[in-house]
Amino acid sequence: MASGSTEHKPAWTPDRIFGFADSQVQGKALADLLGASFEIVDVHYFPDSECRVQLRGHAHRPAIYRPLHIPNAKLIEVILAASVLRDDGAKDIGLIAPYLPYMRQDIAFRPGEAVSQRVIGKLLAAHFDRFVSVDPHLHRTPTLDGVFGGKPSLALTGAPAMVQHLRDRNVSDNVLILGPDEESEPIVKAVAAPLDLPWALAKKVRKGDRDVQIALPEDVPLNRRSVIIVDDVISSGTTVITLTRAVRDLGAKTVDVYTTHALYDDRTADSFSMAGIRRVVSCDGIPHRSNDMSVAKIIADGLLACP
């Protein structure tokens, strides 16, 4: 999965970031780290759910910041915002989307299905000149710029925030970092290696959105060991619940979960507690009750580190 690595493209940092009310805290934090100004995009909703988008202020290198979970209306709003910047003469418009939607469907798995990654990639590439995201959920597409027709793109990972969070809490050396499947290997290794902790991967067979089977490696000692499950995205929660029950049955002492993107609802959070998960910690690229790690520094460091 390409999201475990960082793609470095030609240096570019925005001089003004335009954000939306639903993520203005995170957008402002990023602007402060980059020394950029920050402005809120004004969105007015008409009774029929259409919207009017208004931006104030000029920028030479503008960026729009918005996580695109619950994506359909947000996609229209960021495209309309980009059109305002383009009409104002901006030539290099960036989209900083900590979470990118529609990435999972990168091929037609069954006849008649839309390849949503290709469709949404072309749609956004028609309005933006460069892209930044954190742990984009890529499978068969090797790099993020491949989603956007070769336009400069920066794919970052939430792993450094997880490492720092665990260091700040003096993580025990009696911890196993566990990924739910082979696709989680890059982020699992990126968390385990700096902390000098052992890691392992389960094998997952998904039969439906809420029907998952998990197989654990036979040679991984779990008795009285604490387990930290690491994954890039948690949505339905079925995978981590199934994995938690499996490791608890084998004697795991405690189970915590670290994720970049938390998409689950309150009912799923209650199910986590009932399954024996002690806590879930997420990055704030998607505002969520489990947020305790910031993506602002990850994004700022990634942009400033580009050659």
Quick one: average pLDDT of 61-77? Answer: 97
Closest CA to 3 of 121, 135, 159: 135
Closest CA to 253 of 221, 222, 226, 280: 226
Residues, the chain, total? 307
Q: How far is CA 131 from CA 125, 150, 177, 214, in A?
A: 9, 11, 30, 34
Cα-Cα-Cα-Cα torsion 281, 230, 158, 38, nearest 10 degrees, comes to -30
> DSSP letters of 232-293?
EEESS-HHHHHHHHHHHHTT-S-EEEEEEEE---HHHHHHHHHHT--EEEEETTS--TTEEE
User: Which class in CATH covers the domain with range 2-156?
Assistant: alpha beta
Q: CB-based contacts of 298: which residues, under 8 Å, 6+ apart?
A: 134, 156, 157, 158, 160, 161, 283
Q: What is the pLDDT of residues 142-194, one digit of tens each?
A: 899 999 999 999 999 999 999 999 999 999 999 999 999 988 999 999 999 99
Asked whether the beta carbons of 63 and 95 are under 8 A apart, the reply is yes
Amino acid identity, position 63:
A
Q: What is the pLDDT of residues 88-131, one digit of tens each?
A: 999 999 999 999 999 989 999 899 999 999 999 999 999 999 99
Domains 2-156 and 159-293 share a fold: yes
Asked whether the beta carbons of 60 and 14 are under 8 A apart, the reply is no
**Taking CA 173 as the corner, what is the angle to CA 170 and CA 178, rounded to the nearest 5 degrees?**
100
- Specify which residues 43 forms β-bridges with: 53
Whether pLDDT at 4 is above 60: no
> DSSP letters of 107-136?
S-SSTT---HHHHHHHHHHTT-SEEEEES-
Q: CB 276: neighbour CB atoms within 10 A?
A: 15
Asked whether the beta carbons of 284 and 306 are under 8 A apart, the reply is no
Q: What is the 3-state secondary structure (H, E, C) of 19-35?
A: ECHHHHHHHHHHHHHHC
Write down the architecture of domain 159-293 according to CATH. 3-Layer(aba) Sandwich (3.40)
Q: Please give the Cα distance from 114 to 103 (Å, whole number).
A: 12
Whether pLDDT at 304 is above 60: yes
Q: Determine what percent of the chain is predicted with pLDDT higher than 90.
A: 80
Q: Please give the Cα distance from 141 to 186 (Å, whole number).
A: 15
Cα distance from N-terminal residue to C-terminal residue, the chain: 24
How much is the pLDDT for 215? Answer: 82
How much is the pLDDT for 1? Answer: 36
Q: Where are the domains of the chain?
A: 2-156, 159-293
User: 58 pLDDT band (50/70/90 cuts)?
Assistant: confident
Q: Look up residue 302 and give its DSSP letter.
A: H
